[in-house]
Chain A
Amino acid sequence: MQAARPIGSGSPLARWIETPEGVVLPIELGQRGERAVAFILDFLIVFGIIIGLYLLLIAVILGGKFGGIGWLLAVVMLASFFIRSFYFAFFELRWQGTTPGKRAMGLRVIDRAGGPLTPQAVLARNLMREVEIFLPITVLLSGTFSGQIWQTLATIGWLAVFMFMPLLNRDGLRVGDMIAGTWVVAVPKGALFGDLAHGEAAEDAQVPSSSQYSFTTKQLDAYGIYELQTLEGVLRDRRPNAGEVRAEVARRIRAKIEMPEEDLADADTERFLRDFYTAMRARLERRMLLGVRRRDKHDKR
């Protein structure tokens, strides 16, 4: 699938998955920083709820009307335990692998092998949080180090391995992800713009939509797919200085394909580039149908 590589696939976070239908899709792993922020958001929600419960309890105690304080305390403790343990699993089951924090950051849990995300996987990856996050926090906060210094250090080292596992592997997996066979990916955003070959963007460029310029096969064969898609990027560019870039690109193309150089007005530049793009795409797509994928201008096919 080399030829179908998407933009930005040189990124260290780009991966492929194969769907159960056998189609290979590019995905992008979630950045560690974004995942940390998502976790902190969820963590704040969980502890906000728990602290709220305890405040409520204190209010009831101070009110002094209710007798069974021990009973209430137990209920609050139990509720906190369940909220803490099952918050993540609950949302990832209900919301197809997202939690409020992940949704805010545009992240999602999926199966690493491309299959469906199973309830077992969700439960397994989230139970590991108990060991990765909550246990270290408890140990560090309670300060229950009674042994020698080396024991303390060994404990901290051991917990650190769990906590910082996402930094220690290429895929940013936590231990829970390894256990469950999942990873966290960024939800892609992609907008569909007009088809440049069709002449749809003509209204903002003020050019008629039929071809004005003609090219010979030899001229069209000056470039390959890489150059075609670079030209596509130039044509879709709507930044303020895009006009200058287009003029420069047009000048270079004309030099390369040995077309008489002349000063083109802005509208003509656009016209020329679009015609060249359309003709080149027609030529390359046609050759692709016949099995020849000419990668770039150095590709001698």
Chain B
Amino acid sequence: MATVHTAAGRREPGQGTAAEIPAKAGGAPAFTLKSTAFRAEREPAWRRLEALITRAEKGGLASLDARELLRLPILYRAVLSSLSVARAISLDRNLLTYLESLSSRAYFLVYGGRSNALSAIGRFLAVTLPAAVRAARWYIALSAACMVLGLLVGYVLTIGNLDWFYTFVSEGSAQGRTPTADTETLRRPLFSDGRGLGERLTAFASFLFTHNARIGIMAFALGFALGAPTMLLLFFNGLTLGAFVALYTSRGLGTELWGWLLIHGVTELTAIVLCGAAGLMLGRAVIFPGEYTRLQNLGRAGRRAGVIVIGAVLMFFVAALLEGFGRQLILATDQRFLVAGVTAVLWGLYFLRAGRGAP
């Protein structure tokens, strides 16, 4: 297998000439390696792709025109195929490194996510979210059970002995609505209308900040710690609620309180339950990884759970609207129940029916 290369004039015909091409007239390069010929042929396409990528990395995909956008995946697959060939035939390390980094950069752009945010959001709302909620029905049932259990325990204990109220409700969230307050003090907040648009909006915004979204996101995030804190959080939330219900019921204001709560509470409590369910999904993924590693499984569950939490955040938004406006504008208890019923039916229809049969 002697492959002996000498100057053009004194070339000895070795046996291993597969990698050699006879010298051209003029005696310039004596031979060309296969990998060199390969590179010479493919390099223009790599350079074109490199120019496209460099531009897109600086100015985003928006800086490419329609034709270039169409060409990007084609050039990307071409460079991947070049890389595979080069790995098989070339030992030029610089070439291999270059092709690997070019492929990675092109891969980041091609698989970097959808650039059309609007259609992504549309599909998310119409198909992905309701499907994810349906798939999580058992987690939702468990999450709801925790909250309802808390509510029952809180109610039963507090209605038996009003002193329990102080155990379940912190001073901050009671805001003077305690068993020692007179009935009128308890009644007034239920039917206060904000004085104007400004107050309502402020109320709306502050509701959005303070309580709703935070409890929900906490319930989700805590699921990461095996799910137990999520269940506790849901349970405690139920306890507080039950204590309030018991206090108001003991003063004959039970129906009014429910109207005040449910006008936005149908939406808000559902959202909290959904967040809790998402948290429980994470907890389960960590405890029972099944055939995956814990981390892989957490990622799989996390993406599904993340969908639900995002839906819940949108619901918190709707709940804050209802709380900030609906509750201040609609003062009659029966009308509040009507709104609560309508929202319940709408959410139910949306989660049970939307996007069924979609690809």
Q: Which residue of B lies closest to A115 (CB)?
A: B111
Q: B271-326: which have CB < 8 Å to A?
A: 282, 295-296, 298-300, 302-303, 305-307, 309-310, 313
Q: Is A265 an interface residue (CB 8 A)?
A: no
Minimum distance in angstroms from A54 CB to a CB of chain B = 14
Q: A124 contacts B87, CB within 8 Å?
A: no
Q: A199 contacts B5, CB within 8 Å?
A: no
Chain B residue contacts of A33, Cβ below 8 A: none
Extra inter-chain contacts (8) besides given A111-B111, A195-B39, CB under 8 Å: A92-B113, A115-B111, A121-B303, A131-B218, A179-B224, A192-B98, A198-B29, A283-B3
For A69, A75, A123, A189, which residue has the most chain B Cβ atoms within 10 angstroms?
Answer: A123
Chain A residue contacts of B12, Cβ below 8 A: 214
Q: A130 contacts B100, CB within 8 Å?
A: no
Chain A residue contacts of B51, Cβ below 8 A: none
Q: A93 contacts B18, CB within 8 Å?
A: no
Minimum distance in angstroms from B73 CB to a CB of chain A = 10
Q: Which residue of B lies closest to A186 (CB)?
A: B104
Nearest first, the 9 closest Cβ-Cβ pairs linking A and B are A124-B306, A96-B112, A181-B299, A70-B198, A179-B302, A190-B101, A188-B101, A74-B201, A131-B221
- Interface residue range, chain A: 35 or more
* Cross-interface CB contact of A93 among B4, B8, B120, B299, cutoff 8 Å: B120
Q: A118 contacts B113, CB within 8 Å?
A: yes
Q: Type the 1/0 row for B1-30, where 1 means its CB is closer than 8 Å to any CB of A.
A: 111111110001000101110000001111
A–B pairs, 5, beta carbons within 8 Å: A123-B310, A181-B296, A195-B39, A213-B6, A232-B93
Q: How far is the CA of A289 from the CA of B90 in the complex (A)?
A: 9
Tell me what chain A mostly uses at the interface: helix, strand, loop, or mixed.
helix
B residues apposed to A, CB below 8 Å = 1-8, 12, 16, 18-20, 27-36, 39-40, 43, 46, 57, 60-61, 77, 80, 83-84, 87-98, 100-105, 107-109, 111-115, 117, 120-121, 124, 128, 196-199, 201-202, 204-206, 208-209, 214, 217-218, 221, 224, 282, 295-296, 298-300, 302-303, 305-307, 309-310, 313
* Cross-interface CB contact of B95 among A116, A192, A284, cutoff 8 Å: A192
Q: Is A148 an interface residue (CB 8 A)?
A: no
Q: How far is the CA of A216 from the CA of B109 in the complex (A)?
A: 48
Chain A residue contacts of B109, Cβ below 8 A: 96
Minimum distance in angstroms from A175 CB to a CB of chain B = 6
Q: A181 contacts B113, CB within 8 Å?
A: no
Chain A residue contacts of B94, Cβ below 8 A: 192-193, 232, 236
* Cross-interface CB contact of B36 among A116, A117, A198, cutoff 8 Å: A198
Q: B303 contacts A285, CB within 8 Å?
A: no
Q: A198 contacts B5, CB within 8 Å?
A: no
* Cross-interface CB contact of A23 among B5, B83, B309, cutoff 8 Å: B83
Q: A120 contacts B113, CB within 8 Å?
A: no
Minimum distance in angstroms from A89 CB to a CB of chain B = 9
Q: How far is the CA of A175 from the CA of B6 in the complex (A)?
A: 62
For A1, A179, A196, A233, which residue has the most chain B Cβ atoms within 10 angstroms?
Answer: A179
Q: Is A225 an interface residue (CB 8 A)?
A: yes
Q: How far is the CA of A193 from the CA of B6 in the complex (A)?
A: 26
* Cross-interface CB contact of B113 among A20, A90, A93, A279, cutoff 8 Å: A93
* Cross-interface CB contact of A68 among B1, B198, B218, cutoff 8 Å: B198
Q: A131 contacts B217, CB within 8 Å?
A: yes
Q: B303 contacts A120, CB within 8 Å?
A: yes
Chain B residue contacts of A71, Cβ below 8 A: 197-198, 201-202
Q: Which residue of B lies closest to A158 (CB)?
A: B225
Chain B residue contacts of A19, Cβ below 8 A: 80, 103, 107, 111
Chain B residue contacts of A3, Cβ below 8 A: 87
Chain B residue contacts of A282, Cβ below 8 A: 3, 5, 19-20, 31, 33
Q: B313 contacts A188, CB within 8 Å?
A: no
Q: How far is the CA of A238 from the CA of B117 in the complex (A)?
A: 47
Minimum distance in angstroms from A38 CB to a CB of chain B = 15
Q: A93 contacts B117, CB within 8 Å?
A: yes
Q: Which residue of B lies closest to A127 (CB)?
A: B309
Q: A97 contacts B93, CB within 8 Å?
A: no
Q: A179 contacts B282, CB within 8 Å?
A: yes
* Cross-interface CB contact of A216 among B2, B29, B214, B310, cutoff 8 Å: B2
Q: Which residue of B lies closest to A218 (CB)?
A: B2
Q: Is A21 an interface residue (CB 8 A)?
A: yes
Q: Is A29 an interface residue (CB 8 A)?
A: no
Q: A74 contacts B205, CB within 8 Å?
A: yes
Q: A222-253: which have CB < 8 Å to B?
A: 225, 228-229, 232-233, 236
Q: B96 contacts A77, CB within 8 Å?
A: no
Chain A residue contacts of B77, Cβ below 8 A: 21
Q: B111 contacts A110, CB within 8 Å?
A: yes
* Cross-interface CB contact of B108 among A77, A97, A123, cutoff 8 Å: A97
